[in-house]
């Protein structure tokens, strides 16, 4: 089968299987097997060899003949955060937080706004934001009757989207690094173009706006009744103070941030914040922060921790994160196949290069948004998508005489599209981590988030069409935002009508 056709076919298979089976792990695993059979149907042995090689490549680099140590750091970080979550429950720190916040307010909207605010404040990295905000927001689910699906949506909507509109973030440093590598003729204008790109990143701004409108309009996230597992509860004998939760989480944030700076700083090198973020080892910094946090959590809650309690907390934390890691590995395998073997990004970019005409210039931002979105949805990565699409954007900019504003708009559309694809993809690592962090099933998070992501994307496309045709970004933003407002009202009406019908039946 032609690799271009297969590139478009596989995402559709994954999506359909998720809807039908409601089992994302099974859907991704079957998709991997299906791709392998199609690619090597004439050699059954090669099918197994192909799958094993793709799995091995996640942990071992065949180019440099070395272990991928960053993956090991990431997995250890995730396991430690799972353990931290269980330790905070076992020591009574989570309960202390619930008891402290409940008398302060009974307004669910304030709490939901607080979750979004936390995601905005912790902007340094998408992974980091998703995991930390989840640790704080998860206890609020029962206290304020906020569904886990809704919390997962808030977490996911303030992870990568926020990192993409803040210059001093890991994504911001990565993006400006790509611009430096590819923009040869406009080196002096790079920072100005970069800042304008963040401003014109409609999808990120509309995603935050959408999340706030969900709160204001009280749009329900209808959930299903889960079977309650008989789970042994922790015996909490001594009441804990609020500091037993705040100190470990603050230490996680502060130590991680300090280590990010320290690991990225090099003598006799440029040490502005962008260079530091580009050089740093983010996963190692997060691992060190999580180690300190777990130690502090155990120390502060030592009165309620016995050997068997600690053992149970470690077991549960590891068990939860092993499932998450398994899903991540499967998602990365699919992403690697789509990017490296089927070369979906290069197929689409080559097609656009062959078909591009100056008559398309007004519609180019919208076209680039859709292109980047499909690549990111198929591969599960916005970073990888930017590495493919941005050079193509620079090539267009080089051959067409356009001003700084339109240059930034083209790049912003590519960035926005990659964020939407990543945000809505079931094989995206931030989607997977956001669901796990909120304690929500990945299938439910994907299904409940998708309508809002699609709505935000549609409004972003409207904004880019207006922007492209009029050269007025304010008009594009206002019309896109008003469209979002109107569509969300319709979604609210449909959801409430469906809930009423369900109650009658």
Degrees to nearest 5, angle at CA 351 with 408 and 51? 100
Rounded CA-CA distance 193/414 in Å is: 14
**Which residue, chain included where needed, has tokens 């941030």?**
257
Degrees to nearest 5, angle at CA 302 with 296 and 307? 110
- The continuous run of DSSP H or E covering 66 comes out as strand 66-67
Rounded CA-CA distance 32/36 in Å is: 6
Record the tokens describing residue 425, joined without a space: 């993809």
> How would you classify residue 169: left for phi > 0, otherwise alpha for psi between -120 and 50, otherwise beta?
beta
**Tell me: the pLDDT tens digits for 12-22?**
777 777 767 76
Q: At what angle do helices 44-59 and 24-39 cross, to 10 degrees?
A: 130
256: closest CA among 93, 120, 77? 77
Rounded CA-CA distance 13/10 in Å is: 5
Other beta carbons within 10 Å of 440: 28
Beta strands of 393-438 (E only): which ranges?
A: none
**CB-based contact 366:464 (threshold 8 Å):** yes
Q: At what angle do helices 442-470 and 473-504 cross, to 10 degrees?
A: 150
**CB-based contact 206:484 (threshold 8 Å):** yes
Q: What is the DSSP letter of 388?
A: H
| DSSP letters for 298-335 | HHHTGGG--HHHHHHHHHHHHHHHHHHHHHHHHHHHHH
At 81 the pLDDT is 85
pTM of the model: 0.82
150: closest CA among 423, 438, 454, 436? 438
**CB-based contact 423:160 (threshold 8 Å):** yes
Q: What is the DSSP letter of 223?
A: -
Degrees to nearest 5, angle at CA 19 with 15 and 24? 70
Record the tokens describing residue 183, joined without a space: 């923009």
**CB-based contact 159:129 (threshold 8 Å):** yes
What per-residue string of b and e applies to 45-60 under the rule 16 or more CB within 10 Å gives b? eebeebbeebbebeee
Other beta carbons within 10 Å of 127: 23
**Residues contacting 414, CB < 8 A, separation 6+:** 368, 369, 371, 372, 386, 389, 390, 393
Under-50 pLDDT residues of the chain: 224-230
119: closest CA among 92, 156, 89, 158? 158
**Tell me: the pLDDT tens digits for 203-260?**
999 999 999 999 998 887 765 444 444 455 667 777 777 888 889 988 988 998 899 8
Rounded CA-CA distance 164/368 in Å is: 17
Rounded CA-CA distance 130/429 in Å is: 11
At 103 the pLDDT is 82
At 224 the pLDDT is 47
**Tell me: the pLDDT tens digits for 288-301?**
999 999 999 999 88
């Amino acid at each position: 089968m032609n690799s271009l056709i297969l590139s478009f076919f596989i995402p559709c298979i994954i999506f359909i299987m998720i809807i039908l089976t409601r089992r994302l792990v099974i859907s991704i695993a079957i998709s991997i097997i299906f791709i392998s059979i199609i690619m090597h149907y004439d050699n059954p042995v090669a099918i197994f060899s192909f799958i094993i090689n793709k799995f091995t490549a996640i942990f071992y680099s065949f180019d440099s003949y070395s272990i991928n140590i960053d993956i090991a750091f990431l997995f250890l970080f995730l396991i430690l955060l799972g353990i931290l979550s269980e330790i905070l429950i076992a020591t009574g720190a989570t309960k202390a937080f619930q008891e402290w916040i409940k008398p302060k307010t009974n307004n669910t909207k304030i709490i939901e706004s607080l979750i979004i605010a936390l995601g905005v404040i912790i902007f340094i990295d998408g992974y980091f934001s998703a995991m930390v905000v989840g640790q704080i927001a998860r206890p609020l689910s029962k206290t304020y009757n906020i569904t886990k699906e809704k919390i997962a949506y808030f977490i996911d909507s303030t992870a990568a989207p926020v990192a993409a509109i803040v210059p001093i973030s890991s994504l911001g440093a990565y993006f400006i690094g790509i611009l430096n590598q590819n923009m040869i003729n406009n080196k002096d204008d790079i920072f100005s173009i970069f800042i304008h790109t963040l401003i014109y990143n409609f999808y990120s701004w509309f995603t935050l706006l959408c999340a706030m409108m969900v709160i204001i309009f009280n749009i329900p996230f209808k959930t299903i009744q889960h079977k309650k597992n008989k789970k042994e509860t922790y015996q909490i004998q001594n009441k804990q103070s609020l500091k037993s939760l705040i100190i470990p989480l603050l230490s996680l944030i502060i130590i991680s941030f300090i280590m990010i700076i320290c690991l990225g700083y090099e003598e006799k090198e440029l040490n502005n914040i962008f260079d530091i973020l580009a050089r740093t080892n983010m996963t190692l910094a997060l691992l060190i922060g999580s180690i300190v946090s777990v130690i502090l959590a155990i120390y502060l809650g030592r009165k309620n921790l016995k050997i068997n309690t600690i053992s149970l907390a470690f077991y549960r934390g590891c068990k939860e994160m092993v499932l998450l890691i398994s899903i991540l590995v499967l998602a990365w395998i699919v992403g690697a196949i789509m990017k490296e073997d089927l070369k979906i990004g290069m197929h689409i970019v080559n097609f656009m290069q062959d078909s591009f005409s100056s008559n398309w210039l007004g519609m180019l931002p919208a076209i680039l948004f859709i292109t980047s979105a499909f690549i990111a949805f198929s591969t599960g990565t916005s970073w990888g998508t930017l590495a493919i699409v941005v050079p193509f954007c620079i090539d267009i900019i080089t051959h067409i005489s356009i001003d700084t504003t339109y240059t930034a708009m083209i790049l912003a559309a590519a960035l926005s599209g990659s964020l939407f694809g990543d945000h809505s993809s079931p094989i995206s690592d931030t989607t997977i981590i956001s669901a796990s962090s909120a304690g929500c099933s990945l299938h439910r998070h994907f299904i409940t988030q998708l309508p809002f992501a699609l709505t935000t994307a549609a409004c972003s496309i409207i904004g880019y069409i207006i922007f492209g045709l009029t050269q007025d970004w304010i008009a594009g933003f206002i019309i896109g935002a008003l469209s979002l407002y109107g569509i969300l009202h319709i979604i609210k009406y449909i959801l409430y009508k469906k809930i009423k019908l369900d109650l009658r039946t």
